[in-house]
């Protein structure tokens, strides 16, 4: 079952993870996972630029290697990047040493192609073990979310994706979309009206 909003009981049990930002500020934090991917990431950049909004892109290292100019464009447009592993690994299914090496390889790829350092990390699928987190948390902020659009669920109508994402957005929300091939169709139906909602309801967009 797709959970669009992380229950407060879960975030309270795992306070070492970052689930949201300041609830007193009229800001939302837009995030995009899995890119950069041609035809999707550039569309996202266009929609954000149209409204002068900012976002954080959690990039897969191998996609940076394949699309370095598109990855650079994200930074040129004033957005931030985060580490999302090199091969989009599920921490629950990956040995600790392999997982940490994959994160480091992504980190090196970001440095090589983008010339920046990031201290932001998001585990693919939101899954990592306690020991993996302990190691990663020594060098990175581990960013989760409190609003999951579910744009990757092809069984969910785009209208429901939009409705649920709007419903749970509030001050300080970290909202997840995906700039990847699988989500392209839904994202192009949902992102534009969602960004209009953000703007029309007086939210600023913040960088993590």
Instruction: Just list the catalytic residues.
Output: 33, 178
Concatenated DSSP letters for the chain?
Answer: ---SB--HHHHHH-TTSB-B--TTSSEEEEEEES---TTTHHHHHHHHHHTT--EEEEE-HHHHHH-HHHHHHHHHTT-EEEE--SS---GGGS-HHHHHHHHHHHHHHHHHHH-----EE--GGG---HHHHHHHTTTSEEB--SEE--TT-TTS-HHHHHHHHHHH--TTBEEEEE-STTTHHHHHHHHHHHHHHHHHTT-EE---
Q: In whole angstroms, how far apart are CA 200 and each of 55, 86, 101?
A: 18, 37, 43
């Amino acid at each position: 079952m797709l959970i669009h909003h992380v229950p407060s009981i879960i975030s309270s049990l795992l306070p070492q993870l970052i689930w949201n930002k300041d609830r007193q500020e009229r800001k939302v934090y837009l995030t995009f996972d899995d890119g950069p991917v041609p035809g999707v990431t550039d569309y996202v950049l266009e929609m954000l630029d149209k409204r002068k909004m900012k976002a954080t892109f959690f990039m897969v290292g191998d996609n940076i290697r394949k699309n370095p100019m598109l990855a650079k464009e994200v930074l040129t447009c004033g957005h931030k990047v985060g580490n999302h592993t090199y091969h989009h690994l599920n921490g629950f299914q990956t040995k600790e040493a392999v997982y940490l090496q994959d994160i480091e390889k992504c980190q090196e790829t970001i440095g090589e192609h983008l010339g920046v350092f990031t201290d932001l990390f998001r585990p693919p699928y939101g899954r990592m073990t306690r020991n993996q987190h302990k190691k990663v948390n020594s060098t990175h902020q581990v960013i989760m979310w409190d609003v999951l659009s579910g744009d990757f669920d092809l069984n969910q109508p785009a209208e429901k994706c939009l409705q649920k994402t709007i419903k749970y957005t509030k001050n300080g929300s970290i909202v997840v979309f995906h700039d990847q091939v699988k989500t392209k169709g839904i994202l192009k139906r949902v992102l534009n009206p969602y960004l209009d909602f953000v703007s029309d309801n007086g939210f600023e967009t913040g960088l993590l």
